[in-house]
Structure 1
Amino acid sequence: MSNNTYIYLLVAALTIFAIRALPLTLIQKEIKNRFIRSFLYYVPYVTLSVMTFPAIISATSSWISGTVAFVTAIIVAWIDGNLFKVALSSCIAVYAVEAFFL
């Protein structure tokens, strides 16, 4: 893995740790505000998504095949939700687009 990958993983880990651990150490009573609770719940997922999305598009030889794989992954995940099937269908989509259309 390249040095950038390690930096990305470190930033994601620190962000998730800060969002999860700091409220526990700084705030002693339960957070009752619905907006803040929702924010603290979704921030790690959003951070991971924002860091992963550019890699999905640029991991292939063409941004077109990356985009097709991304759309395929979303559709298969929406229908089935099985991670293995999502990954397999994305790989097949990239292979098909790069073999037959590019």
Structure 2
Amino acid sequence: MKNNIYIYIFTAALVSLIIRALPLTLIRNQIKNKFIRSFLYYVPYVTLAVMTFPAITEATQCNWAGYAALAVGIILSLFGAGLLPVAAACCAIVFVIELFF
């Protein structure tokens, strides 16, 4: 039974089912607690940030290019630029910096 892949697949499926089904069965009414509602609202954004930020610097040949692109992206988005201009500017920054380094 050692290293039986079906046990691993079953365990992963069971854990995934419990994580998804348990809140649906336990929470029947609308959540009224302000803290919990705020926490649940920001969970997807935090998860995306945790997955994205390390990849920004590791995807480039020079880490400084990733940091510069991150800074430019943050600044442009603070000024209200859309997704396409921010992404294009970040790509251009990485391209220019990696040309010289």
Indicate the residue corresponding to 1:55 in structure 2.
Answer: 55
What's the TM-score once normalised by structure 2's chain length? 0.74
Quick one: distance in 2 between partners of 1:71 and 1:22? 40
Under a length normalisation based on structure 1, what TM-score does the superposition of the two structures give?
0.73
Q: Which residue of 2 aligns with 1:92?
A: 92
Q: Please, which runs of 5 or more residues in structure 1 have no aligned partner? A: 1-13
Q: Post-superposition, which runs of at least 4 consecutive aligned residues in structure 1 deviate over 4 A?
A: none
Aligned to 1:68: 68
Give aligned pairs, total: 84
CA distance in 2, matches of 1:26, 1:93: 48
1:37 aligns with 2:37: yes
Larger Rg: 2
- Which secondary structure does the structure 2 equivalent of 1:70 belong to? helix
Unaligned 5+ runs, structure 2:
1-15
**Per-residue CA shift, 1:31-73, capped at 9, x if unaligned?**
1111000011101110111011100111110110000001111
RMSD of equivalent CA atoms? 1.8
Q: Distance in 1 between matches of 2:84 and 2:95?
A: 17
Provide, for residues 9-47 of structure 1, a one-character-per-residue CA deviation record: whole Å limited to 9, x for no partner. Answer: xxxxx7xx84xx754432111111110000111011101
